[in-house]
Amino acid sequence: MTSTRTGSAPVEASPSAFPTGFLWGAATAAYQIEGAVDVDGRSPSIWDTFSRTPGRTAGGDTGDRATEHYHRYRQDVRLMSELGLGAYRFSVSWSRVQPTGRGPAVERGLDFYRRLVDELLEHGIQPAVTLYHWDLPQDLEDLGGWPARDTAERFADYAALLADALGDRVGIWTTLNEPWCSAFLGYGSGVHAPGRADWTAALRAAHHLNLGHGRAVEVLRASLPRDARIAVSLNLHEVRPLTASAADREAARRIDAVGNRVFTGPMLGGGYPDDLLADTEHLVDWQDLVHDGDLAAIARPVDLLGVNYYTPTVVSALPHGQDPGSATASEAGHGDGAQSPFVGCADVLFHRAPGPRTVMGWPIDPSGLTDLLLRLHREHPGLPLMVTENGAAFDDRPTAEGSVHDPQRIDYLRGHLDAVRRAIAAGADVRGYFLWSLMDNFEWAWGYGKRFGLYYVDYATQARTAKDSARWYAEVIRRNTLPDLPG
Ligand code: FCB
């Protein structure tokens, strides 16, 4: 989302308590934690293929074992219970449920999620299901993947199977996680599975992810109980121009179009924005891509908008005469691909703000979260928001006694929770916060080296150890407030 301010949000400090009923959660995703990739009928997804391709992930890491959550889920639910979580956001592995991406469900695959959900409910933790967190069945990729329209229809069928299996026990449903990453990192820059670098394919993927979302909302709405809440989680970019110059503001507008409004436009009822269509008409034939009825299907209302936020995005225009090359987006924090993931924006430069960063290299700036939530509140009044991901990776190391002290993560979380609190005080309707992540896990192309968890995972033994931040977060949850901020 664009904003011309670069400082912190102009919002008064507020009482330190969160609203009554505020939902405190933690998040994970199937491929990052489950392991057990070849049991109970599961077939490969694009992430199995990608991570097994030499050179694609750091150290050649794969999700083959991950944190063995598939077999250790009971123990992991106990950890959640120790934290006092009100909700747990996890994703379903499509290729566990429908190995080829089509046809009847595999009951053994569904049974794992039934057992997990039952375990959560027994511990008083609300399950929040994400249907798709990037792991397309490889068979569907072989038929064209998200650039192919049929994938959207397959996704709706898969959503129906899940609604049927878990609809009686799951109250929060998220269709897609971060479709921007699926479309533009997967098919645009190629740093994520399936590793294609083709801007036209990326825009086609974006439209079919939008369509798949809309079709899934329709299916879920028709089969879930009335009080089920349906959402989508977007990694919206808080885009800030480096300077107030017209050229930098124009760069920010373009990144906002291909980074944010390509999803928020159609999903929230406004269609594809005219400026996006104009910016990308040389890459894709939108008339051909968007069929009659698609926009109405995509615009089916959601009950909650999930917001994933880690760091702001600072951009400027490439000075005249400079060769764009492929490195312009390397400072955007999305890995170095064959070309920018921001389609058609090879001439936009990205900058990392000075100051503290996480080990992902992402500058730490909580004001971006406040600004983002307030923009959504302004532009989509009445739409309840939920922070569905926020967190930080640091170089956590156990001490000789086995403790894991992570004061930087606590600082990060304190700052960002305060940012949420400020947005709420200024009127944003934020219903909950899901911390990324419950435990260290497979951080996609970065492998196991980046640790985001509240629980430290020793990958040799699979032992989980609460970091200091886990105890701190448990205290936040217990008190429904930020304990160490002045009220
Ligand atoms: C988000 C992803 C999540 C995790 C965090 C760090 O983009 O949704 O799976 O990798 O980043």
Q: How far is the CA of 444 from the centre of ligand 1 (A)?
A: 8
Strand spans (E) along 353-454: 385-389, 430-436
pLDDT of residue 8: 45
Residues sharing a CB contact under 8 Å with residue 197, sequence separation 6 or more, in sequence order: 187, 188, 189, 190, 337, 338, 339
Task: Break the chain down into helix, strand, coil percent, rounded to 5.
Answer: 40, 15, 45
Q: How far is the CA of 463 from the centre of ligand 1 (A)?
A: 22
Atom of ligand 1 nearest to the CA of 233: 8
Q: How far is the CA of 316 from the centre of ligand 1 (A)?
A: 25
Q: How far is the CA of 133 from the centre of ligand 1 (A)?
A: 9
Probe target for ligand 1 pocket from 443, 450, 454, with the most ligand atoms within 8 Å of CB: 443
| DSSP label of 137 | B
Q: How far is the CA of 323 from the centre of ligand 1 (A)?
A: 31
pLDDT of residue 335: 87
With contact defined as beta carbons under 8 Å apart, do 461 and 49 qualify?
A: no
Q: How far is the CA of 413 from the centre of ligand 1 (A)?
A: 16
Q: Which of 34, 178, 238, 443 is catalytic?
A: 178
Probe target for ligand 1 pocket from 133, 308, 313, 442, with the most ligand atoms within 8 Å of CB: 308
Residues with CB under 6 Å of ligand 1 are: 29, 32, 177-178, 181, 235, 308, 389, 436, 443-444, 452
Alpha carbon distance, N-terminus to C-terminus of the chain: 30
Atom of ligand 1 nearest to the CA of 443: 10
Atom of ligand 1 nearest to the CA of 29: 9
Give the number of other Cβ atoms within 10 Å of residue 418's Cβ.
Answer: 18
Distance CA 104, CA 97 (A): 8
Distance CA 99, CA 115 (A): 20
Probe target for ligand 1 pocket from 362, 389, 439, 443, with the most ligand atoms within 8 Å of CB: 389
Distance CA 293, CA 316 (A): 37
Atom of ligand 1 nearest to the CA of 235: 7
pLDDT of residue 329: 75
Helix (H) or strand (E) holding 425: helix 407-425
With contact defined as beta carbons under 8 Å apart, do 416 and 390 qualify?
A: yes
Residues 57-82 as b/e (b if ≥16 CB within 10 A, e otherwise) read beeebbbebbbbbbebbeebbebbbe
With contact defined as beta carbons under 8 Å apart, do 68 and 153 qualify?
A: no
Probe target for ligand 1 pocket from 178, 233, 360, 436, with the most ligand atoms within 8 Å of CB: 436
Atom of ligand 1 nearest to the CA of 444: 10
pLDDT of residue 325: 65
Instruction: Compute the half-sphere exposure of residue 169: CA atoms within 13 Å on the CB side of its CA.
Output: 16
> Is residue 389 flagged as an active site residue?
yes
Q: Which of 389, 401, 443, 475 is catalytic?
A: 389
* Spans of the chain below 50 pLDDT: 3-14, 486-487
Q: How far is the CA of 83 from the centre of ligand 1 (A)?
A: 21
Nearest C-alpha to atom 9 of ligand 1 is from which residue? 29
Length of the chain measured in residues: 487
pLDDT of residue 51: 98
With contact defined as beta carbons under 8 Å apart, do 367 and 8 qualify?
A: yes
Distance CA 9, CA 86 (A): 29
With contact defined as beta carbons under 8 Å apart, do 404 and 1 qualify?
A: no
CA distances (Å), 318 to each of 199, 248, 249, 391, in order? 20, 9, 12, 31
pLDDT of residue 144: 98
Q: How far is the CA of 393 from the centre of ligand 1 (A)?
A: 11
Across the strands, what pairs with 24? 433
CA distances (Å), 482 to each of 9, 398, 485, in order? 19, 26, 6
pTM of the full predicted structure? 0.96
Q: Is 332 helix (H, G, I), strand (E, B) or coil?
A: helix
pLDDT of residue 14: 45
pLDDT of residue 2: 53
Atom of ligand 1 nearest to the CA of 393: 6
Probe target for ligand 1 pocket from 178, 311, 387, 388, with the most ligand atoms within 8 Å of CB: 178
Q: How far is the CA of 391 from the centre of ligand 1 (A)?
A: 9
Closest CA to 177 of 417, 386, 364, 350: 386
To 5 degrees, how large is the angle CA 183–CA 189–CA 192? Answer: 65
Atom of ligand 1 nearest to the CA of 32: 9
